Homo-oligomer: A and B are copies of this chain.
Amino acid sequence: MTGPRYTKLIESLPATVPFVGPEEQERRAGRPFAARLGANENGFGPSPRAIAAMAAAAGEVWKYGDSTSFELRAAIAEHHGVAVENVLVGEGIDGLLGYLCRLVIEPGDAVVTSDGAYPTFNYHVAGFGGVLHKVPYVADREDPQSLIATAAETQAKLVYIANPDNPMGTHHPREAIEAMIEAVPEGTLMVLDEAYVEFAPEGTEARIAADDPRVIRMRTFSKAHGMAGARVGYALAAPGLIAAFDKIRNHFGMCRISQEGALAALQDKTWQAYMRLLVAGARDRITTIAQENGLSALPSATNFVAIDSGQDGEFARAVLAELGARGIFVRMPFVAPQDRCIRVSVGPDAELDAFAAALPDALAAARAKLSR
């Protein structure tokens, strides 16, 4: 008796699980975190109207969700001034990135991204046999020029950029993104991940014609709408590309409760405005906490702040470990020199209080450990 015969590609993929979530870390530590500030979630939570809509939908969950997410797509289309045919709703940006990779990547195909950018995109590219070409950050920002140049050199199927960026929280003005789209090589699709754009300064969101075939935009209800656990993302693109997803997507894959919650969240403009104020306040507080500890924080266009440890990645990793030992869940960039930073997501005062209380000891312990 043997097991199944996997594909050659599957046999070649690493067996290690790249994503260890906070619950798994809590189980390993044997206790819950005092502050959950590591996953770029939005601890202020969803609109009260969205919560009410989801609670009401719980009793109706015996019905499959609408396989076309029509009402939600119509609301999103109106919000962006595009047609319903320009909008695809899916199981978070992660789910949509997986479908997109499946649409275009055959083993050996080139894909371009930044070294240290969103790892889940890389995971999906590798999962379909794509070959990643990574360009370095420049001044803690993704570099449109080198991304485009490398896409041209490698005849890439996809070139990925997030604006604003994760993990650094930096951003480009929309003109830089618009110029990048104009320079996308023939045959390359640009993936513009705008998961955090609602938190960015006015003038960050690129102006893109709805039917532009050169780019697909990714947006989410996980960040600005505080609904990461609901798994609602959407793509904006030309109708032909949107329709192509229908060849392969899990048509009844959307949670009905999440569809209802996202619709209510999108309609609650008051909460969206309030949320931006809450997040801006929390960013300022994180920056102040950094300064009180003799550290500087990078300006953030997102719902998280990269705090510069003032030293290298080894030191930042030590700080991260010491914070974890003190019940504080935060994360950090993977690649030097960005890995000199620790990345702290926004949250309500109680969680930031816990972070503020733990940071001085964590820094002292990390310094003591590395000076030994």
Contact = CB atoms under 8 A, between A and B. Distances in A.
Interface of A: 1-10, 13-15, 17-24, 27, 36, 39, 41-46, 50-51, 54-55, 57-68, 70, 91-92, 94-95, 98, 102-106, 127, 157-158, 186-187, 189, 212-214, 222, 226-231, 238, 240-241, 243-244, 246-248, 250-258, 261
Contacts of A13: 247-248
A19 B247 contact: no
A60 B41 CA distance: 11
A119 to B, nearest CB: 11
B24 A70 contact: yes
Contact of A95 (B68, B103, B250, B261): B250
A103 B4 CA distance: 9
Contact of A240 (B3, B187, B248, B258): B3
Contacts of A257: 54, 58, 229-230, 255, 257-258
A17 B70 contact: no
Chain B CB count within 10 A is highest, among A158, A228, A231, A241, for A231
Chain B CB count within 10 A is highest, among A59, A98, A254, for A59
Given A68-B21, A250-B94, A255-B258, A213 B3 contact: yes
Copies in the complex: 2
A81 to B, nearest CB: 21
A346 B62 CA distance: 12
Ranked 9 nearest A-B pairs via Cβ: A229-B256, A54-B58, A55-B55, A4-B189, A23-B66, A3-B213, A21-B67, A61-B229, A255-B255
A229 B95 CA distance: 17
A6 B253 contact: no
A27 B71 CA distance: 11
B51 A64 contact: no
Contacts of A95: 250, 253
B251 A6 contact: no
Chain B CB count within 10 A is highest, among A24, A102, A127, A252, for A252
A33 B186 CA distance: 47
Contacts of A241: 3-4
A105 B241 CA distance: 25
Given A10-B103, A27-B70, A15 B248 contact: no
A43 B243 CA distance: 32
